[in-house]
Chain A
Amino acid sequence: MREPKILLVDDVDYSRQLLRNNIMALTHSRLLQHNTFNFFNAGTASAAVSLFNQQRPDLVFLDIELPDSSGLELLSRFKQERPDCFISMISGQSTLQNVQQSIAKGAATFIVKPFSGDKILAAMRLFEKRLTVRPIALDTP
């Protein structure tokens, strides 16, 4: 089984770095099943679309507010193209409307900023749980 690919989509560079560092810290603490992940970064919606098509990530952390598009629009697009891709929305607002819209458009989970170790762990554990149900195929590029 190859290492899962994670696409981090946020226009703030330290947010992407924070997610990456903390996911790796969870693997080092053996709190996750995987020892490593392959990360890709996108600061805009257009960069995210190219990387999504090129790299076919297994997991996407997607900020709801992007400079050149809405994260929710991108979510619909990604889910249409690859319904099995696990997408975790990231937002500063956990209103019921935000959460329900994200679920309706196919988001697997929802992280509310500010980030915490527990929120990131919960998202990663849900991702790994889904992977045990539907593992990454060996021949997936």
Chain B
Amino acid sequence: MTAKQILIAEDDSFLRTLLLTQCQSLGMKTHAVANGEHLVSEALSYQYDIILTDIQMPVCDGIAATRILRRLGYDRPIIAMSADEVHETGFDQILAKPIDMRQLAQLLQQTPAQDSVALQLDDELIALFYTNLQQLSSEFARALQLAQRDTLRQICHKVKGGAASFGEADLAKLADKLQHELLSDTPLDELQQSCQYFAQLLQQFGGSNART
């Protein structure tokens, strides 16, 4: 059976570590964030079976984050932890702080893993993706010659979004890194090498994988 995945949002580092340890000891795959902003970003990846969140957190609190998620249709279990009384309908359960670890363990074990739907990628779609990479490689090389920084960044953005959907996680990571570098104040001259490498990589990926 696949391990359940839990997202923990807690700004107190001691309590965060304690919760991480507890969930790991229950055989769960864990990820922790320290504020509501990161909670929203992470939750929208839809990879977690359960969210466990503190209420009072910086940037965006647990209630605001949960309201945003519920409004966007997020329908997976969210468990809150609070020292005060909370009247909020978005949570599946509210645990009183200090947390009774035995009660938490029982609740986490009772909460079922979420059904997951696999992404459907057929041969035609995959071929379309790699052909597109080849086109982007030419566009990227041209934009690099013309020092069109914004076009370079847009291409990185496109590659990042697409590559991860098609299982090319390393390419997506590289595109994301270069996109951030292109957004920064670093002069384009200093990014030449990274850009050239990226153009070559796009060409290779597109060329070796494109199917007719």
Contacts and interface: CB of A to CB of B under 8 A. Distances in A.
A112 interface: yes
Interface string B30-42: 0000001100110
A132 interface: no
A21 B158 contact: no
A92 B116 CA distance: 21
A109 interface: yes
Contacts of A15: 161-162, 165
Interface of A: 11-15, 17-18, 21-22, 25-26, 29, 31, 65, 67, 92, 94-96, 99-100, 103, 108-123, 125-126, 129
Contacts of B114: 118
Given A94-B45, A95-B41, A117-B119, 4 more contacts: A17-B124, A113-B162, A114-B163, A129-B73
A96 B60 contact: yes
A56 to B, nearest CB: 23
Given A14-B162, A18-B121, A99-B40, A109 B157 contact: no
B96 interface: no
A90 to B, nearest CB: 8
Interface stretch (B14-22, B81-89, B99-107, B125-133): B125-133
Interface in B31-70: 36-37, 40-41, 44-47, 59-60, 68
Contacts of B154: 65, 67
B122 A113 contact: no
A92 to B, nearest CB: 4
9 contacts: A12-B161, A96-B41, A96-B59, A100-B68, A103-B71, A111-B44, A114-B172, A117-B119, A125-B75
